[in-house]
Amino acid sequence: MAGITDLPFRIICKELGVDILYSEMLSSTGLNFTLQKNLEFVNSNKHDFPLFIQLFGNNPEHFALATNIIDKLPSIEKLGTKIGPRRPEGIDINFGCPVKKVMKQESGCALMRNPENAYEIIKAVVDNTTLPVSIKIRAGIDNVSAFDFLGKVAPLDWKTLMIHGRTFKKGFSGEIDCNLIKEIKEKYPERKIIANGGIFTPEKAKEILEKTNADGLGIARGCLGNPWLFSQIKEYFETGNYSTPTISEIKKVALKHCELIQKYKGKNQIVEMRKHLGWYFKGFPDAKKYRQELYTIESIEDVRNIISKL
């Protein structure tokens, strides 16, 4: 999720139970022309593990060069206690993003309309790294189904498929197509299939996993303001019950999130917490009253003062 899944948020999610982390979307084209600026989007450290760097774009040559750059980054061991771009544990190619500015570049989900070019993009990545490669798609776009797309790219050596079970037209509304994901898993049993879309509760997570027979779950919007969702799902699968965070726990994690942004991105970037604070404290009895204040914070002190009133 661009602008959201940066290093501070990934660390929070890791501490609260996530298994695999995905970076913000990194432009394969941008990486070729403004290397240092774009590599900052994938700054990492030893707590940010295992990490998949997520690429988007539409030019196979740019993907090849970007992959080569990523493959040659320092290892997590060489990074040590420092922060910086590092060689990840895998590379993910996004063919599922429905955002207009991405679609206008013929990237993201738009590439499902052009499986021939998608094939060349995946090949360019696979040929330039020894890292495992994953791809993300949607249930379909226009008259191109997920099966049409996969039929073209299946011969390539990608390891994992994350499928958002809604079509491009459905966006983020409505139920996901669990039957489609199940059929894809049956057709490609040797691949890891990750079900994605509409997972906001442990109950929904269990329902989707059972209906799809997928190998795992991909969670995006469901963890906004609720990074506890990962540990809740695991607890629910193991015991049939799960705990919810107390008000003091939510405040503690929100403040830690602020501290991590300040530590890894600088004091002037604390404004990035505004949207996160809106998500963390959504539904609080006094949240509406203080919403305007939460959206205008300039420092950690501002955050402490406001949430002490909640």
* Catalytically annotated residues: 97
Q: How far apart are CA 143 and CA 187, in angstroms?
A: 20
SS3 call for 94 = strand
Q: Kind and range of the H or E element at 236?
A: helix 229-239
Task: Assess contact for 218 and 189: CB atoms under 8 A.
Answer: no
Max CA pair span of the chain: 58
Q: How far apart are CA 61 and CA 187, in angstroms?
A: 31
Report how far apart, in Å, the C-alpha atoms of 157 and of each of 71, 105, 127, 133 are: 17, 26, 9, 8
First to last CA, the chain: 28
Task: Assess contact for 53 and 30: CB atoms under 8 A.
Answer: no
Q: Kind and range of the H or E element at 188?
A: none
Q: How far apart are CA 8 and CA 276, in angstroms?
A: 11
Task: Assess contact for 280 and 255: CB atoms under 8 A.
Answer: no
Q: How far apart are CA 97 and CA 111, in angstroms?
A: 10
Q: How far apart are CA 119 and CA 15, in angstroms?
A: 36
